[in-house]
Amino acid sequence: MSQAEVVHRRSSMTIRTMASSGRRESDGRMDLRRLLADIPEMKGHAPGKDQEYVNGWGIFALPFESGDVLALRVFPQNDFSPYRALWHRDPSGRWAIYVDGSRLDTSCPRYFGSVCEYTGFASIDVTWVARNSLRIRMTDPSLDWTVTAHSTGVLAFINAVSAQLPLASWRPQTLVRARERLARRLGLGHIQLNGVMPSGHTGRLMPEQMFLIDEARATLNGADLGRPVRLPGNPTIGEFRLPSRGVLVKGGAVWDILDPVEYGRTRAATGEPVDRS
C-alpha cells in the first residue's frame, strides 16, 4: 500500500491501556496489548482489484451459558473510516450491532445489518487492563465485559506460521478449507471463512492470528451472562457461521465491491486519502 493510498490520522478512538499488577497473565511470552492496542488508522484500498477491506482485530464470537453471544470488532483500517462494533445475539437468536464510528453503512451493518433486529450507534470503550486482558464497556444498552485470552504451544506455532503466509494464500479454496478444518481441530466448530454475506457481498475473512478465550464475565443491563461456554453447534448471523467457542482474532477481511457507484459515492463522502509522499 503506497503513501498515496492511506491517510494516517491521530486517533480519536485510541484504545487506552492501563498497567495492572497482580493479575494473572495467561501466557508469559504473549502480549496482546502490545500487538493490538496501537494499530494505526489508515484509509486505503484492498490489496485486490474491485474489493473493499477491513483490517484490525476483534473477538470473533463468545457464547455464554445464558444463551447470549457477544462479539467485538475493532477495525482502524478500511476503505472508509475507523470504527468499533459490538455484536449481541440474545437467547432467542435476535442480533443487534452497535457501532462506535461515523456511519452505519461503512461498518459492520454494511454486511450484516439486514439480518439484525437492531443496528445503531453506541459509545464503546475498550481498555487493556493487562497484557492479555481487556475490558469492554458500552452505554445504552449497558454492558460491562471482561475477557482474558490465552494461547497454547500448538496455537502459538500455528500463529507464527500463519503470520508469515502471503495474502495470496487466501485465494485457493483448498487452502481456505484447510484453515477451516484446522479451526475445527481447535474447537471452533464448522466456522465459515468465505461466502456471501447477508448484504449480498461475497467476501473472505482472513484471521492472521488466533487466541482462545476461556475466562470472561459480562453483565448486560445488570444481568450476569454467566460463564463462557462451547456450543454444540455454531451460532449464525443470517446463514454465516461464527465460532462455537470464544476466540480473539487479529486479521482482516475483503469483500467484492457490490455496487461500484455506491462504493465510490460512499468513499468520497468519507474523504479521500491525502498524498503524504
d(CA 104, CA 112): 11
Cα separation, 225 vs 187, in Å, equals 21
The pLDDT tens digits of the residues spanning 97-133 come to 999 999 999 999 999 999 999 999 999 999 999 999 9
What is 100-154 written as a DSSP string?
ESS-STTSTHHHHGGG-SEEEE--EEEEEEETTEEEEEETTTTEEEEEEEE--HH
> Is residue 27 one of the residues assigned to a domain?
yes
Number of domains in the chain: 1
pLDDT, tens digit (0-9, with 9 covering 90-100), for 72-91: 999 999 999 999 999 999 99
pLDDT at residue 275 greater than cutoff 70? no
Q: Is 276 among the domain residues?
A: no
pLDDT in tens, 185-232: 999 999 999 999 999 999 999 999 999 999 999 999 999 999 999 999
Cβ–Cβ under 8 Å, residues 43 and 149: no
Q: Is the pLDDT of residue 7 over 70?
A: no
Q: What is the mean predicted confidence (pLDDT) over 157-162?
A: 91
Residue 277 within a domain:
no
Q: What's the rounded Cα separation, in Å, for the pair 173 and 178?
A: 8
For the record, the C-alpha cell of 224 comes out as 450476569
Position 136 in a domain: yes
Handedness of CA 173, 174, 175, 180 (dihedral sign): positive
- Gap between the Cα atoms of 118 and 134, Å rounded: 26
Q: Determine the pLDDT at residue 271.
A: 80
| Closest CA relative to residue 251, chosen from 210, 197, 203 | 210
Residue 6 has a pLDDT of 34
pLDDT tens per residue across span 133-142 = 999 999 999 9
What's phi and psi for 64, nearest 5 deg? -120, 160
Q: Which residue has the higher pLDDT, 6 or 206?
A: 206
Is 169 a domain residue? yes
What's the confidence (pLDDT) of residue 81? Answer: 95
* Assigned domain for 174 exists: yes
Look up residue 58 and give its three cell numbers.
476483534
Is the pLDDT at 166 greater than 70? The verdict is yes
Task: Check residues 3 and 158 and name the one with the higher pLDDT.
Answer: 158
- pLDDT at residue number 29: 80
Return the SS3 of 42: strand
Amino acid occupying residue 105: D
Pick from 47, 44, 119, 120: nearest CA to 82 = 44
User: What pLDDT digit, counting tens, does each position of 16-61 carry?
Assistant: 333 332 333 345 689 999 999 999 999 999 988 999 999 999 999 9
pLDDT, tens digit, 9 for 90 and up, residues 142-157:
999 999 999 999 899 9
Spatial separation of the C-alpha atoms in residues 115 and 100, rounded to whole Å: 19
187 domain-assigned: yes
Mean pLDDT of 92-98: 98
Closest CA to 76 of 33, 107, 122, 121: 107
Cβ proximity of 72 and 84 under 8 Å: yes
Distance of CA 212 to the CA centre of its chain: 14
Domain that holds residue 10: 3-268
What's the confidence (pLDDT) of residue 27? 56
Instruction: Tell me, yes or no, whether 118 lies in a domain.
Output: yes
